[in-house]
Structure 1
């Protein structure tokens, strides 16, 4: 019995030894020097080359009407009627309000009566002065009597001028009862209701405002260095484009305008120079008070562009994956500038003719072999 158990134990040990040997040979076959390497990773590459681009300065500005006018009452009285609709466009000279006329019509009649009375007194004084002058020549009156008559005539001439000015003033006050638009534009909210007593003071004289939307002005500022670049480029002939409206988070359809004002001094606190651009705005797409993203075009230059997706961020800043002549990749630190459409401007780190990987970037490792392929044609 013991011999039988011994033979079974030896047979089992031999089987385990054979299995272990087979496993070692399989492991050697998988890890040995004859194993096939992994296939190259397919990546899309872009051969960079200089392109002619616009040099722009980015800024944020605030829109305002090219004319913003207060409509005020110039005489005191009861506001009888409002003659416009709030928010509608009005033309210069169009009637907007009517103030009660009766008190000013009465004042005009009184001024005309005073003028007529002064005119009559002046004519009588002129006749008297002429009569005394004739008598003075005949030595029938004294020089003093004639001088008094001449002085009275001169006083009445001055009074006549004052009476005429009074009539003119009364006519103006009567005309001011019709409040007309001082400029063309869009009428704002009416600040006084019909039946209100309005005056000429700062508090109770403001009736509404008119804002001209077309053209629209946008005020913005540039730093001293940016302003120096502007002056060295196209200067005041630079074009200004509206790129976006930050308040709405969207595009502004690339409205293009021109500079119509540049400041003559640097703000000592902010170190900036004030500028203003003018835009055609016939459909009131932009409104005064909006904040707008602006691009000031100051000239053209040659630059290397890469897609934004090709630029990665690492511990040492921005970098791209450059594909060498042997189709291996290596990270390359770059210094980027502004955006041009969907591309970055690369200021430093790349040369014309080099290939940059633009996809599969997360799977790349330094020295990895890749299979470059050209980018797909744009649709």
Structure 2
């Protein structure tokens, strides 16, 4: 015991000890409500897409084949080169076909001479018949010979045209503008003997066809509506989107130009074709993609373009289904079951993932969009309004 305590009276020490032991501890203070960010569901026009696997095919694909027999003498293009319509691609030895043309021209000259001679003979006999200088039978024979000579001229003219046609085939030209494949036959090879030899392929892909198949359940609605001229017109006016294999969206939209007239019984699908412009050559025949057909955000309301949308990250899911946290009366957190629809394309949402809500919310609900980890059923929170997008603020300023 210290000297100070020794000097204090015993009664005073007891009183101090009693005060220390009898002092009540202050009750702990409740933590402040957790801050969360809330926003109302946005009612907006929403374009969503039904996506289908698709393959791309060039508008025109032409196989260039040898139409006459001979030796390949010259190739006038480089493999993979762009060529124009009527541009020469190959030369097959023309000499035999030029000789055939010369021979056919000689035959035609001979036939014309024979016709001229038969004509003169007939004219003389016809004049003599008027004076009864020759018999009727001689005149008729001369007329028949004249007809034969005329037929011989026509036959010779046909042979000459055929020979000229074969000669023209020695110059292999491109029937369309497009890009060539590699040459299948090199110079010096024989072509066209067993069959019309494939020389190369020219592809015109300034526009492309995109083929995709739609399940019959989704086609039934179209079949029910296709008798309506307005519905058919709206189908052709749809702006079709194309997503490529790397996830990028093709810069131009297309339109549906063909729907097959029957369901494929083996796949239970209907083939549909869309056409896309391809002026820059960004698409090639054989590519894979996903066709996006714009549809109503709510399948049960096909004519309603508007829908409620919320940030996709605010939609949670557990064993009971999809739900969001909303702030109700007294700033208490409530679980709200929802039926989410499709996610909107990023070009409609300033790069933020937004999802359509089909059921479970209305535009006045306050949905927690940030601070979700602090939300619990029945917990009191401190809600803060989410900042409006810059685009909406600028519109309000206007």
**TM-score of the aligned structures, taking structure 2 as reference length:** 0.81
1:264 to 252, 261, 264: 261
Query: What stretches of structure 2 of length at least 5 have no aligned partner?
Result: 1-16, 226-230, 297-303, 346-352, 391-398
Bigger Cα displacement from structure 2, 368-377 vs 336-345: 368-377
Could you say what secondary structure the match of 2:167 adopts? Answer: helix
**Within-5 A mapping of 1:1-379:** 34-199=27-192, 204-227=196-219, 232=231, 234-242=234-242, 244-246=243-245, 249-298=246-295, 301-341=305-345, 342-378=353-389
Q: More strand by proportion, 1 or 2?
A: 1
Q: Deviations over 1:270-312 (max 9, x none)?
A: 3333222222212111111111222223566110111111111
Contact 2:244/2:250, CA 8 A, preserved across alignment:
no
For each residue in 1:104-159, what CA deviation from the matched residue of structure 2 results, as whole angstroms up to 9, or x when unmatched? 01000110111111111111111222222233333333222222221111111111
CA contact (8 A) 1:44 1:357 kept: yes
Distance 2:193 2:152 in 1: 28
Q: Deviation string for 1:178-215 (max 9, x for gaps)?
A: 1111111111121111111111765x522111111212
Q: SS in structure 2 opposite 1:134? A: helix
Q: What is the aligned length?
A: 350
Check whether the contact 1:229–1:298 (CA below 8 A) recurs between aligned residues: no
Q: Compute the displacement of 1:262 (Å).
A: 2.7
| Distance of aligned partners of 1:367 and 1:91 in 2 relative to their CA distance in 1, 3 Å threshold | same
Farther off after superposition, 289-298 or 99-108: 289-298
RMSD: 2.6
| Residue in 1 that maps onto 2:299 | none
Deviation at 1:73, TM superposition (A): 1.6
Deviates more, 1:121-130 or 1:165-174: 121-130
Kindly indicate whether the alpha-carbon contact (under 8 Å) linking 2:36 and 2:374 is maintained by their aligned counterparts in 1.
Answer: no
Post-superposition offset of 1:36: 2.7
Match of 1:4 in 2: none
Distance 1:72 1:263 in 2: 31
Residues 151/253 of structure 1: CA separation in 2 closer, same or farther (3 Å cut):
closer
When residues 200 and 129 of structure 1 are mapped into structure 2, their CA distance, relative to the original with a 3 A threshold, is same
* Secondary structure of the corresponding residue to residue 275 of structure 1: strand
CA distance in 2, matches of 1:200, 1:261: 40
The C-alpha deviation readout for 1:16-74, integer Å capped at 9, x for no partner, is xx9xxx8xx99x969xxx44333322222111131112253322321111111111222
SS in structure 1 at match of 2:143? helix
TM-score, scaled relative to structure 1: 0.84
